[in-house]
Amino acid sequence: MRFCAAFSRFFSCISCRLELTDTLTAIEQRSIPPFKSVLLKLIFFFHLQTLILGIMFLRRLAVIVPRSARFFSCKGSLGLASTIAELNKEMESVFGELPPDGLANSGNRSFMDQEYQHNSHVNLSSTKDKFTDLELQSISHNLGEKAPGLSHVGSTGKAQMVDVSPKENSSRTATASCKVLLGEKVFDLVLANQMAKGDVLTMAKIAGINGAKHTSTLIPLCHNITLSHVRVDLRLNPEDFSVDIEGEAASTGKTGVEMEAMTAVSIAGLTVYDMCKAASKDIQITDIQLESKTGGKSGYWCREE
């Protein structure tokens, strides 16, 4: 109950501080009778004392209450500290500067210093690793038992190129797709072959095939494999004014060609954008995805519709 009473007095003093300042101004100008001026001065100092007690109470509360059990968040504490600083400035404007060991130099600064150190500690701790080496090993062990591991991650957690020498050669294929949203204006220009740079679909087709052949150069941990076949098809779709792109790659070897197929459609989509960007910057390349693959240990896979 004492806590609630002190809190209510504290915030009532804050709400009426402007009225009290106006009252002091009126007293100084002698615009009210002497008896009333004395009475108002007593009321003012009573409220001022309550205000100071409220600030001291909050300062003591911030020091005594453990940090884990405080009622204020970090942002709320900083907002409270700034409010107290503003009140101190207003008090200094009325009564002059406080002594060196006054409230502003002791409680307020120590309170703000504590909150600043707490915030710094939180920010620094958030950038550190949250798991120890033993915990990481335990997580890796559990994942190894329940789910397939990441082939490009070694036992130490660092990136590595997969050793495919123990694998057997097999016939492998993969298909991928993507969509390029042109908009009606650009779509009509491409359909009429009126783009300034030339035939958009033909250039994108050639670029997609070339991109598939350079996948190992673009993607660091991909193997440099020999492709036996690359196909890139582009089709204008009047329903949503887009270009539907489909790519296929094939090879006989020890590793799959999924990345080659996805790189083919990605490079083809980027080429469409480059050919049409003069007409519109609002073109979007979306839905780059693997559609199906065959061969290898996992065999056949197809995306469900």
Task: Name 224's Cβ contacts closer than 8 Å, sequence gap at least 6.
Answer: 216
In the sheet that holds 242-253, the strands lie side by side as 229-237, 242-253, 170-181, 284-294, 301-302
Q: Comparing C-alpha atoms, which of 210, 190, 175 is closest to residue 272?
A: 190
Q: Which of 233, 244, 274, 287 is labelled catalytic?
A: 274
CA atoms within 13 A on the CB side of 72: 16
Per-residue three-class SS string for the chain: CHHHHHHHHHHHHHHCHHHHHHHHHHHHCCCCCHHHHHHHHHHHHHHHHHHHHHHHHHHHHHHHCCHHHCCCCHHHHHHHHHHHHHHHHHHHHHHCCCCCCCHHHHHHHHHHHHHHHHHHHHHHHHHCCCCCHHHHHHHHHHHHHHCCCCCCECCCCCECCCCCCCCCCEEEEEEEEEEEECCHHHHHHHHCCCCCCCCHHHHHHHHHHHHHHCHHHHCCCCCCCCCCEEEEEEEEECCCCEEEEEEEEEEEECCCCHHHHHHHHHHHHHHHHHHHCCCCCCCEEEEEEEEEEECCCCCCEECCC
**Does the annotation mark 274 as catalytic?**
yes
Contact in structure between 260 and 270 (CB atoms under 8 Å): no
Q: How far apart are CA 248 and CA 263, in angstroms?
A: 10
Residues noted as catalytic = 274
